[in-house]
């Protein structure tokens, strides 16, 4: 058996010891582990490594029909992430290639980041830090006066596992939690003391909006010029879902126009954004992190172990033990 571990350099795990140990213990000592740093302009090299691989472990490499056609032996694509929109699922299904994202490893971590963003933006931490570091200025009144979180309404868009976890954490911080989701039943909302509302009601009522949606064909640019205009209370907007859920041009215009008080994001359009030319960089009311909301020693260990166990179980024919198989 051969397993190829490959991704963009910025997305590769700094150490592959746990991954390799899990794969070898599960598949046997003769397992070949190939580790390759990927680049879009070196697809031919990637295809050469992929040609005889039985399994691919990746998070962000585009696995379209062409890439899959170059992998005659490929049986499973294990995604060491929860999203799998980089894989042509129809092509994989047609070719008999299993696609296994990690169903759960960082719910706590991402919801923890939502709370951190909410607190940091509402308390102007970035603004004050710049004032202190750059201008040596010590003036609490330099920042705008905003209400305490206890007097604000949090709106959660996407009430899955992470949205629910954020709601539980936020319950003791904000005055009210509302949420919207196309799935789920009312009981799931009521059990957490969360009021289920329509998107229009959420945009009108929320002082803070957190996006926890997965990316689908239906929610690309979900947050756009029209939705920002509908946000009546000039909210803090936090995107911890996917970058393509947000129209960044409309976002920048909304920030410039004062339709949003502040913006925080762990994801942008591109996994390797050109930060030097980004209109979001350098603003006192914008906080960005490099897709690190999931990042902790606990979550990384779970991610590495579970994604490799998915490969082991799939290749050994134990599909019932695969954490999450989407095709």
The answer to whether the predicted template modeling score (pTM) of the entire model surpasses 0.75 is yes
- Burial (0-12, 13-18, 19+ Cβ within 10 Å), 310: buried
* Cα angle, residue 162 at apex, residues 196 and 325 outer, rounded to 5°: 115
User: Could you tell me the two tokens for 72?
Assistant: 């005659």
3 state DSSP class of 58: strand
Q: Tell me phi and psi for residue 55, to 5 degrees.
A: -145, 150
Q: Quick one: pLDDT at residue 82?
A: 83
Residue 247 to residue 97: CA distance in whole angstroms: 33
State the chain's mean pLDDT as an integer.
96
Residue 5 to residue 60: CA distance in whole angstroms: 12
User: Could you tell me the two tokens for 194?
Assistant: 């969360």
- pLDDT per residue as tens, the chain (327 positions): 999 999 999 888 889 999 999 999 999 999 999 999 999 999 999 999 999 999 999 999 999 999 999 999 999 999 998 889 899 999 999 999 999 999 889 999 999 999 999 999 999 999 999 999 999 999 999 999 999 999 999 999 999 999 999 999 999 999 999 999 998 889 999 999 999 999 999 999 999 999 999 888 899 999 999 999 999 999 999 999 999 999 999 999 999 999 999 999 999 998 789 999 999 999 999 999 999 999 999 999 999 999 999 999 999 999 999 999 999
For the four alpha carbons of 107, 322, 14 and 12, in that order, the dihedral sign comes to negative
Cβ–Cβ < 8 Å for 313, 321: yes
Angstrom distances, CA of residue 163 to CA of 90, 188, 299: 28, 11, 18
pLDDT in tens, 127-169: 999 999 999 999 999 999 999 999 999 999 999 999 999 999 9
């Amino acid at each position: 058996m051969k397993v190829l571990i490959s991704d963009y350099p910025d997305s590769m795990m700094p150490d592959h010891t746990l991954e390799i140990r899990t794969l070898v213990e599960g598949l046997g000592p003769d397992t070949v582990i190939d580790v390759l740093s990927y680049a879009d302009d070196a697809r031919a090299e990637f295809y050469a490594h992929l040609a005889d691989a039985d399994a691919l472990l990746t998070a962000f490499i585009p696995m379209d029909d062409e890439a899959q056609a170059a992998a005659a032996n490929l049986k499973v694509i294990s995604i060491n992430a929860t999203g799998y929109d980089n894989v042509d699922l129809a092509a994989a299904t047609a070719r008999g290639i299993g696609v296994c994202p990690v169903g759960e490893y960082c719910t706590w971590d991402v919801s923890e980041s939502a709370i951190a963003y909410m607190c940091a933006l509402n308390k102007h931490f970035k603004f004050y830090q710049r004032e202190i570091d750059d201008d040596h200025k010590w003036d609490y009144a330099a920042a705008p006066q905003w209400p305490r979180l206890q007097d604000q309404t949090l709106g959660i868009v996407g009430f899955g596992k992470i949205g629910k976890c954020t709601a539980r954490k936020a319950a003791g911080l904000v005055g009210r939690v509302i949420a919207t989701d196309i799935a789920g039943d009312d009981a799931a909302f009521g059990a957490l003391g969360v009021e289920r509302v329509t998107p229009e009601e959420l945009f009108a009522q929320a002082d803070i909006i957190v996006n926890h949606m997965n990316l689908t064909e239906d929610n690309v640019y979900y947050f756009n010029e029209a939705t920002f205009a509908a946000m009546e209370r000039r909210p803090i907007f936090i995107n911890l879902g996917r970058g393509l859920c947000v129209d960044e041009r409309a976002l920048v215009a909304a920030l410039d126009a004062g339709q949003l008080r502040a913006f925080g994001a762990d994801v942008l359009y591109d996994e390797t954004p050109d930060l030097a030319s980004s209109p979001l960089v350098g603003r006192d009311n914008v906080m960005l992190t490099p897709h690190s909301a999931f990042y902790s020693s606990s979550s990384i260990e779970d991610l590495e172990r579970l994604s490799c166990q998915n490969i082991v179980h799939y290749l050994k024919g134990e599909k019932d033990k695969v954490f999450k198989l989407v095709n």
